[in-house]
Amino acid sequence: MSILKTNTMLLALIFFGACKTSNDNEPQDTLTSGKTNIAVDDSYTFLFETLTRVFEDQNPEAKINTHIKNEAEAIQYLMDDSCKVIVLNRALTKNEVAVFNSKNIYPKSIKFAYDAVALIVHPDNPDTLLDLNDFKSILTGKISHWNQIGKNGNGEIRIVFDKPNSANFKYIKDTVIGGAKLQKNCFGVRSNKEVIDYVTKNKNSIGIVSAGWITNDYSNAAKAFLTQVKVVGLGHKSSGLYYKPYQYYVHQTTYPFIRPVFLISRQTRMGLGTGFVNFICKADKGQQIVTKLGLVPVYAYIREIKANVE
């Protein structure tokens, strides 16, 4: 083989190798195709199972992998570029944004729904209306037994969360009791489902879950949960008014434990993460799903109705 022919073959291999490397580095996803990762708190398992299933049905070439993470894990996941979109109950703080920006990452926070933190009790518990001040006293240890507030015997009250540092845990600790120390009667398990399981077996417990686990039309599992527990109404003894974490009371802001839900995206181009965010916030179907899963959508879909008037 001549030197000229050998050199020509080497140049061809180098050229095609360079082309392959360049193509490998190019984005492989579009608004409706490819693969992407998202990080979601366990509170929204049902919601995002449904959202991703419908989005993928509409876009057969798209695959969205959902990872269940707590708040701190999700933010780190986003910073490490392990995912393009995360779901939080708050926007990023100025300090968090500054850290992202220092790495040339410019995330956007999009509020897309309002959720409620729900309290549940055993089906045999007669105390399904709870004064807000009494609940705060339970969390901080001033009230420890049911006979101090109601009719559920003299057992010690146990407060169970899905897990430490979850969205539910942080809301109760930071927002409801202003960062005060939770007492030893408060503990975490591993998921919202385990909270419900614990409450069904322990008459003296109060479970803390996202309203989406007990107030939706899509999930047969969530419907079954409602037969196993009672949902607590929150209010004030002085007024005699109590409200449950249902959509109407969330929309009217009469239920006290309401929180926004944000999509936080680091994707700056028209990739699959952007396409999924657009589906949730802008598509009628996305907002219908948010509504069906017990949350109150921010971007409520509007149907145009035409009528013939004679």
- Which residue's structure tokens are 């030893």? 184
Looking at the predicted structure, is the pLDDT value of residue 19 above 80? no
Q: How does strand 186-188 pair with strand 158-161?
A: parallel
Q: Report the share of the chain in percent with pLDDT over 70.
A: 85
Q: Which residue has the tokens 């105390």?
A: 127
pLDDT, mean of residues 96-115: 96
Q: Residue 136 is which amino acid? A: K
Same domain, yes or no: 181 and 244? yes
The whole-number pLDDT of residue 302 equals 42
Position 136 pLDDT exceeds 50: yes
Q: Judge whether 212 lies within some domain.
A: yes
Q: Where are the alpha helices (DSSP H) in the chain?
A: 3-25, 45-58, 71-79, 94-102, 132-140, 167-170, 192-201, 220-226, 247-251, 272-282, 284-292
pLDDT confidence of residue 28: 83
CATH number at residue 286: 3.40.190.10
Q: What is the pLDDT of residue 21?
A: 44
**pLDDT tier at 20 (50, 70, 90 boundaries)?**
very low
The answer for 218, left when phi > 0, alpha when psi is -120 to 50, beta otherwise, is alpha
pLDDT for 274 beyond 60? yes
pLDDT per position as a tens digit, 195-206: 999 999 999 999
**pLDDT (0 to 100) of residue 267:** 94
Domain hosting residue 44, numbered range: 34-114+260-297
pLDDT tens for each residue of 194-248: 999 999 999 999 999 998 888 655 555 556 667 789 999 999 999 999 999 989 9
Angstrom distance (rounded) from CA 236 to CA 129: 9
Global confidence as pTM? 0.84
The mean pLDDT of the chain is: 87
Residue 308 lies in a domain: no
Q: What is the mean pLDDT of residues 126-152?
A: 95
Mean per-residue pLDDT, 281-298: 91
Which pLDDT belongs to residue 212?
A: 84
**Band of the pLDDT at 6, cuts 50, 70, 90?**
very low
The Cα–Cα gap between 120 and 59 comes to: 38
pLDDT at 223: 61
Q: Looking at residues 4-29, what average pLDDT do you find?
A: 50
Split into its structural domains, the chain has a count of 2
What lies within 8 Å, CB to CB, of 77 at 6+ separation is 37, 39, 67, 69, 83, 86
- How far, in Å, CA of 112 to CA of 198, rounded? 31
pLDDT score recorded for residue 292? 87
pLDDT attached to residue 228: 84
222 and 245 inside one domain: yes
Q: Percent of the chain at pLDDT above 90? A: 73
- Residue 200's pLDDT is 94
- Asked if the structure places residue 15 within a domain, the reply is no
274 and 195 housed in the same domain: no
Same domain, 45 and 93: yes
DSSP 8-state symbol, 187: E
pLDDT band at 63 (very low <50, low <70, confident <90, very high): very high
Same structural domain, 145 and 250: yes
More confident residue, 292 or 206: 206
Asked if the structure places residue 27 within a domain, the reply is no
Better pLDDT: 22 or 166: 166
Pairing verdict, β 241-243 and 62-68? unpaired
119 forms beta bridges with 208
- The pLDDT tens digits for 144-190 are 999 999 998 899 999 999 988 899 999 999 999 999 999 889 999 99
Asked if residue 12 is part of any domain, the answer here is: no
| 253 and 134 in a common domain | yes
> Exposed e or buried b for every residue in 60-77, given b needs 16+ CB within 10 A?
eebebebebbbbebbbeb
Same domain, 123 and 239: yes
Same domain, yes or no: 109 and 120: no
